[in-house]
Amino acid sequence: MNTDIIGMTNMPEAKLAREASMAYATLALVTDFDSWHPTEEAVSADYAIKNLMKNAGNAQQVIKEAVALLAAEQPDSIAHTALAQALVTPVEAMSEDTKTRLSALLP
């Protein structure tokens, strides 16, 4: 099955997570198919909201289980060391001004 995800905030969030050396995943839950699926009928706002509320409960359960799994064992991810090669100049060779500007990235 070929699907596309419509999520206007995914890219900025993924880029910000990468800059912060954080692993990032999207949890996408469908509310309706009428906007793209050729065999689905148009849906009402009530239908979409009902699914949105159901999805909110599902998302809470997924997050609860994911946090428990991550608390038990944090998986290795290249995201956690994404900035390891980001700075070419050795820290000791940087000016104090540069160190201040890059303080969020420095160990």
Token look-up 């998986």 returns 75
Share of the chain above pLDDT 90, in %: 31
- Say whether pLDDT at 96 is over 90: yes
Residue 66's alpha-carbon distances to 62, 63, 74, in angstroms, are: 6, 5, 10
**Residue 64: which H helix or E strand, with range?**
helix 45-72
Residues 34, 46, 76, 97: which is the catalytic one? 34
Q: What is the DSSP letter of 21?
A: T
C-alpha radius of gyration, the chain, whole number: 21
The pLDDT, as a whole number, for residue 63 is: 95
**Residue 13: which H helix or E strand, with range?**
helix 10-19
Does the predicted TM-score (pTM) go above 0.75? no
Residues 32, 46, 76, 97: which is the catalytic one? 32
User: Does 34 qualify as catalytic in the annotation?
Assistant: yes
In the chain, what are the domain boundaries? Answer: 10-82
